């Protein structure tokens, strides 16, 4: 049969039927074309809607409130990390815990955090920030409060605590990786880095609040009462989080334009009707998310973002957790002071960490993330070596080791004000929480890699919490320095600047880089 005869009307079929069908099809096509044209005209207002958020010069009360809510939640998370060490110390004698049992209780939350970061990060990109924003604090709060009802029976109590610590870590890991993207997506471009950096300053605050709670309340209400108080604080935070709407950027990617306008209006405290109603162009390749498309496997399509975020997290976390493991003991041994005085000195060291987070948050906005991250990591590496060399030297009656340790925490701990937010910015919006969750979870392996490497270096039989070296600190501190150097090199060699660019611009640049790489791979395959 000739090709041109295939569409002829068959014998017995009236030709006007075909014309009627064609006319209906033409009408439908015309309607779709008009709707698409209308959406293309309205697409210009998408930028206007987000620009209202991106270009506001001063934060509104609600934007500040969101930052405070996220800060309080992260403070609560690290307060809990501090409290579990106190609880294990309190019950270890009466329960006659073995070292292995104590280690399981202490390390189980880290395992839960790795899984929670990956799981909740992916979930936040699939179903939305807000549901996960609420779920993570609920899981964390319920498990923390449940620990107050730990059985007195030692054989059951340590297992009960260990299981609940996994659940606590599961919620806490997700809390961190959804709170930062949530805050970022409500903040103006000019303040995004600074505000999210300030949010991470809650980590040393959590340790300080935990120290005060143990000091002031342990004799009054005991460790069970402290856990119930922590759970009650989490419940108040949950109620506060209910007031926060879904991220407008997530809503735009799901074509929920009216809801996105309401979310922007909520943040800016203006009538949503005064804002343009955003729309999305059907021809835009990345206008709409596939709800099932935010998978961990898809991260492999962005190798630079994957390596950058993972290596910076792993390097920073391994170094910080390794030093934190030894810091109080080293102060006692190096300076010849008692544990109580070492505890007081640790307050100053922690204040150095808080100051570092605030300063580096500001610097990341004025000088850029890449520069600030590299500066923090390389400075930490050099100062760690200096701390090992300083030993028990004094200058003008001031212990050099203490001063250098404060400086180490300023850059090493303070560097997380860049590492955390930057790990979210280097991913496209549809994978932001997934990518950050994977990187943060992978970085959590530093809690294991750090002590394990230290144990091998100092020849300790205890690879979970190796004894601090009693003579030469240099080999062990050089081990820390290598991890910081790795983190700094990742910022320097793999990093790309995100300062001053709104999230939509970053999305376009990241996707363009992916397409260019795919094009080069295709050309190489053709030549091959």
Map out the domains of the chain as residue ranges.
Answer: 59-244, 294-528
pLDDT score at 27: 53
Average pLDDT over residues 136-159: 93
What's the rounded Cα separation, in Å, for the pair 176 and 179? 5
Mean pLDDT estimate for the chain? 83
Average pLDDT over residues 259-272: 93
pLDDT score at 322: 77
- Sign of the Cα torsion 122, 126, 132, 135 reads negative
What's the CATH architecture for 59-244? Up-down Bundle (1.20)
Nearest-5° angle of CA 203, CA 69, CA 316?
25
* Confidence grade of residue 41 (pLDDT, cut at 50, 70, 90): very low
Tokens at residue 370, please? 């890449």
Tokens at residue 427, please? 């991913």
pLDDT digits (tens, 9 = 90+) for 296-321: 788 999 999 999 999 999 999 998 88
Q: What percent of the chain has pLDDT over 70?
A: 82
How many CB atoms neighbour CB 412 within 10 A?
A: 30
Residue pair 106/85 in contact by the 8 Å Cβ criterion: yes
Tokens at residue 275, please? 């804002």
Does an H or E element contain 398, and which?
Answer: strand 398-399
* Confidence grade of residue 358 (pLDDT, cut at 50, 70, 90): very high
Tokens at residue 74, please? 């992260």
Q: Name the residue with higher pLDDT: 469 or 410.
A: 410
In whole angstroms, what separates CA 277 from the centre of its chain?
Answer: 31
pLDDT score at 496: 95
Residues 6+ apart with CB under 8 A from 279: 38, 39, 42, 43, 45, 46, 257
Average pLDDT over residues 142-157: 92
Does an H or E element contain 393, and which?
Answer: none
Residue pair 336/392 in contact by the 8 Å Cβ criterion: yes
pLDDT above 90 (res 425): yes
Residue pair 418/364 in contact by the 8 Å Cβ criterion: yes
3-state helix, strand, coil in the chain (%, to 5): 80, 0, 20
Average pLDDT over residues 223-231: 94
Residue pair 436/183 in contact by the 8 Å Cβ criterion: no
The phi, psi pair for 241, rounded to 5°, reads -70, -25
Could you write out the DSSP letters of every residue in 491-523?
HHHH----TT--HHHHHHHHHHHHHHHHHHHHH
* Confidence grade of residue 393 (pLDDT, cut at 50, 70, 90): confident
What's the rounded Cα separation, in Å, for the pair 489 and 509? 22
Residue pair 79/207 in contact by the 8 Å Cβ criterion: yes
pLDDT digits (tens, 9 = 90+) for 174-224: 999 999 999 999 999 999 999 999 999 888 888 888 878 888 888 899 899
Residue pair 227/83 in contact by the 8 Å Cβ criterion: yes
Residue pair 404/477 in contact by the 8 Å Cβ criterion: no
pLDDT score at 182: 96
pLDDT above 70 (res 293): no
The neighbouring-strand residues paired with 398 are 395
DSSP character for 302?
-
Please give the C-alpha separations between residue 442 and each of 257, 307, 340, 425, 435, in angstroms, as whole numbers. Answer: 35, 11, 35, 17, 11
Place of tokens 């958020």: 53
Angle (deg, nearest 10), helices 61-95 and 129-146: 30
pLDDT score at 172: 92
pTM: 0.81
Average pLDDT over residues 230-257: 94
Give the ranges where 96-247 is alpha helix by DSSP (H): 99-127, 129-146, 154-184, 192-200, 202-241
pLDDT score at 187: 95
Residue pair 282/77 in contact by the 8 Å Cβ criterion: no
Could you write out the DSSP letters of every residue in 63-107?
HHHHHHHHHHHHHHHHHHHHHHHHHHHHHHHHHT--HHHHHHHHH
pLDDT score at 241: 96
pLDDT score at 159: 94
What's the rounded Cα separation, in Å, for the pair 142 and 138? 6
What's the rounded Cα separation, in Å, for the pair 473 and 289? 52
Give the ranges where 367-397 is alpha helix by DSSP (H): 369-390
pLDDT digits (tens, 9 = 90+) for 470-509: 556 788 889 999 999 999 999 999 999 999 999 989 999 9
Does an H or E element contain 399, and which?
Answer: strand 398-399
Average pLDDT over residues 229-255: 94
Highest mean pLDDT among 71-80, 85-94, 405-414: 405-414
* Confidence grade of residue 2 (pLDDT, cut at 50, 70, 90): very low
Residue pair 324/450 in contact by the 8 Å Cβ criterion: no
Domain spanning 294-528: which superfamily?
A: MFS general substrate transporter like domains (1.20.1250.20)
DSSP character for 394?
E
Q: b or e along 429-466 (b: 16 or more beta carbons within 10 Å of the residue's beta carbon)?
A: bbbbbbbbbbbbbbbbbbbbbbbbbbbeebebeeebbb
Place of tokens 């050089």: 478
pLDDT digits (tens, 9 = 90+) for 324-357: 767 777 787 778 887 778 778 888 898 999 999 9
pLDDT score at 235: 96
| 59-244 and 294-528: identical CATH topology | yes
pLDDT above 90 (res 132): yes
The terminus-to-terminus CA distance of the chain in angstroms comes to 42
pLDDT above 50 (res 19): no
Residue pair 395/379 in contact by the 8 Å Cβ criterion: no
Please give the C-alpha separations between residue 288 and each of 60, 327, 429, 511, in angstroms, as whole numbers. Answer: 29, 49, 11, 14
Average pLDDT over residues 68-79: 92
């Amino acid at each position: 049969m000739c090709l041109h005869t295939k569409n002829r009307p068959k014998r017995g079929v009236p030709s006007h039927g075909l014309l009627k069908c064609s006319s209906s099809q033409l009408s439908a096509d015309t309607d779709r074309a008009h709707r698409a044209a209308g959406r293309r005209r309205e697409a210009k207002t998408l930028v206007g809607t987000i620009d209202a958020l991106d270009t506001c010069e001063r934060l509104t009360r609600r934007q500040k409130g969101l930052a405070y809510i996220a800060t309080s939640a992260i403070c609560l998370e690290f307060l809990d990390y501090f409290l579990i060490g106190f609880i294990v110390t309190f019950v270890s004698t009466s329960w006659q815990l073995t070292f292995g049992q104590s280690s399981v209780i202490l390390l189980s939350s880290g395992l839960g955090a790795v899984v929670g970061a990956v799981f909740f990060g992916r979930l936040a990109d699939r179903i939305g920030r807000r549901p996960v924003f609420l779920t993570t604090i609920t899981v964390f709060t319920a498990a923390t409060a449940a620990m107050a009802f730990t059985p007195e029976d030692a054989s059951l109590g340590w297992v009960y605590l260990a299981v609940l610590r996994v659940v606590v870590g599961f919620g806490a890991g997700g809390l961190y990786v959804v709170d930062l993207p949530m805050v970022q997506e409500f903040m103006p471009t000019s303040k995004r880095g600074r505000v999210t950096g300030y949010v991470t300053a809650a980590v040393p605050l959590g340790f300080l609040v935990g120290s005060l709670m143990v000091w002031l309340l342990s004799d009054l209400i005991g460790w069970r009462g402290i856990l119930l108080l922590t759970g009650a604080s989490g419940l108040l935070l949950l109620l506060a989080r209910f007031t926060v709407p879904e991220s407008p950027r997530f809503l735009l990617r799901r074509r929920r334009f009216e809801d996105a306008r309401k979310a922007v209006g909520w943040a800016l405290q203006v009538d949503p009707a005064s804002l343009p109603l955003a729309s999305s162009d059907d021809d835009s390749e990345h206008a709409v998310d596939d709800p099932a498309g935010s998978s961990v496997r898809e991260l492999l399509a962005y190798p630079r973002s994957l390596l950058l975020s993972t290596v910076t997290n792993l390097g920073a976390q391994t170094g910080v957790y390794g030093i934190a493991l030894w810091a109080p003991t080293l102060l006692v041994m190096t300076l010849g002071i008692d544990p109580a005085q070492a505890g007081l000195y640790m307050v100053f060291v922690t204040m150095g960490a808080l100051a570092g987070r605030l300063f580096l948050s500001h610097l990341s906005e004025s000088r850029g993330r890449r520069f600030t991250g590299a500066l923090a990591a390389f400075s930490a590496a050099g100062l760690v070596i200096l701390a090992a060399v300083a030993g028990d030297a004094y200058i003008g009656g001031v212990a050099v080791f203490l001063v250098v340790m404060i400086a180490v925490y300023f850059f090493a701990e303070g560097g997380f004000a860049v590492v955390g937010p930057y790990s979210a910015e280097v991913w496209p919006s549809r994978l932001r929480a997934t990518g950050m969750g994977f990187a943060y979870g992978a970085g959590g392996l530093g809690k294991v890699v750090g002590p394990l490497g230290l144990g091998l270096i100092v020849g300790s039989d205890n690879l979970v919490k190796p004894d601090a070296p009693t003579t030469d600190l240099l080999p062990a501190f050089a081990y820390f320095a290598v991890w910081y150097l790795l983190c700094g090199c990742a910022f320097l060699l793999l990093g790309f600047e995100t300062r001053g660019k709104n999230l939509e611009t970053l999305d376009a640049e990241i996707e363009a880089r992916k397409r260019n790489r795919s094009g080069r791979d295709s050309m190489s395959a053709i030549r091959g």
